[in-house]
Amino acid sequence: MYALISIIIALAALVTLLRFKVKIGVSMLVSACLVGVLLGVWPADLSRTLVEEWRSQPLTRTTGYLFVSLTALLLLVNVIGAAMGEIGLAQRLVPAIQGLFKSRRFALALIPLMMGMLPTPGGIMLSAPMVREAGDKIGVERSRLAAINFLFRHQWEPIWPLFPAVPLIQNLLSISALTLFSYHIMLTGAGTLVGIIVLLMFGIPPKLPEHEPARRHVGYHLKDFLHAFWPIVFTAGLYIAFNLPPAVGIFLAIIGFLTMHRVPLKRWLSVFRAAREPDMVLLIFGALFFKLNIETSGAIGSVVDFLISVHVPPHLLLFLLPMLVSFSTGVTTPTVAITYPFLIAFMGTGPDTKMGLETLAFSGLLFGLWLTPIHLCLSLSASYFQTSLLKIIIKMILPAIGVAITGALMAFFFG
């Protein structure tokens, strides 16, 4: 119980600091320090965790690697946006998208939906520059743009096999990919449908004459779109084909981008100055530090034991346990690894798996994940789109409820 209260106090402090207009990076770091103090985590404890992590985990899952790679990726995404502005491509991107897809709403959702197939930490930032540019051009409010980018980028998480949680669930429950897909697709469908209704059907300004794309052959629109989109596709391709860190891929893409468009070397420095974002570095450090304190203290195990000890009703436990863990950590795969072994007794395994109950559990995971300020994608969105984190979270409430209701219905009919 104490661990749960400590986490809640630290998150409440984060929200309070943000309400007082404290920068999000500083707020996250203060919240991480507070949870460490409340849970009694000392520097020696953190050192042991980091050493054990280094010995037992692949390099790409260690905290140090994540900090360096995420920081580099996010700062370089700013650079690619500055490079597009330097050559005037940013101004041509929105007309190109509108000329190709006609529907402005469809275009705003399609970009993060496409990039969401690349499951890299902080990958939300790959689509953010294009969504922001497209939305600003037609006058969409920034928090709505951030929510659109966040929601549609995460619709693949329940079903796309490149997300580690998907094969992990298959292995834990001994079920086929088709079985998991058949049930989880309902969560993806619900999230997408409610997102379309809440985020795209409302809040999009009426089309004005200046929003109409220039009357040009589709080939010109396609050329401008590909010029803007190829660095992202290039980065994704290197990641999928060669497991090259996205930060390296985006750096190579920037060099190629500036070279291809013959930007003089003396102007490269001004482009790379866009990477000067100290608060974003603090944000990443604070989020990882918060997660490290939670893991080191064993707080999640204490929360799990508490919920089981007070005999929470099985269906509520199936939803509540993944929700609390994902809300506390802001990550998917560890939530599955922590909670599913406890929940298997209710869900079953193999041919006897009650997939309706498993879907309920995963809907709880998504509910917590989409609403927690600890989720790095939400925090980064608030920083990049220069909007309030709380405004983004408020816009995510109805899609999260839609997914939760879908999980409950699946448990009722198939549990």
Which of 377, 284, 287 shows the shortest CA–CA distance to 75? 284
Of the candidates 361, 333, 331, the residue with the CA atom closest to the CA atom of residue 347: 361
- CA–CA dist 139, 362 (Å, integer): 35
* C-alpha separations of 43 from 40, 46, 50, 299, 313 in Å: 10, 5, 11, 17, 38
**What H or E segment, with its residue span, contains residue 130?**
helix 124-138
Whole-number pLDDT of residue 111: 82
Neighbours of 273 (CB within 10 A): 11
Alpha helical stretches, state H, 174-263: 177-195, 218-242, 246-260
What tens-digit pLDDT sequence spans the chain (415 residues)?
A: 788 888 889 888 887 887 787 887 888 899 889 989 999 999 999 999 999 988 887 887 788 887 887 788 778 877 877 777 777 765 666 677 667 777 778 888 888 887 777 666 666 877 888 888 888 888 899 999 999 999 999 998 998 876 778 887 887 888 888 899 999 999 999 999 999 999 999 888 887 655 555 566 677 778 777 777 787 778 777 877 787 777 888 889 889 888 888 888 888 888 888 767 787 788 778 878 887 888 898 887 787 778 778 877 889 989 998 998 888 878 787 788 777 877 887 898 888 899 999 999 999 999 999 999 888 889 889 988 999 999 999 999 999 999 999 999 999 998 7
CB crowding 328-357: b at 16 or more within 10 Å, else e: bbbbbbbbbbbbbebbeebbbeeeebbbbb
Structure letter (DSSP) for residue 350: G
pTM of the model: 0.74
How far is CA 121 from its chain centroid?
7
Q: Report the candidate in 392, 383, 394, 343 with the shortest Cα–Cα distance to residue 364.
A: 343
Q: Which of 322, 363, 324 is nearest to 343 (CA)?
A: 322
Contacts of 93 (CB under 8 A, 6+ apart): 84, 130, 133, 134, 224, 225, 228
386: nearest Cα among 145, 124, 71: 145
The two tokens of residue 287 are: 């989020």
Q: What's the CA gap between 184 and 238, in Å, rounded?
A: 28
Contact 30, 9 (CB under 8 A): no
* Sign, CA torsion 82/85/87/90: positive
For residue 13, give the 3-state DSSP assignment: helix
The residue assigned the tokens 């999000």 is 24
CA angle 379, 382, 388 (to 5 degrees): 115
Looking at residue 10, what is its pLDDT? 86
324: left (phi over 0), alpha (psi -120 to 50) or beta: alpha
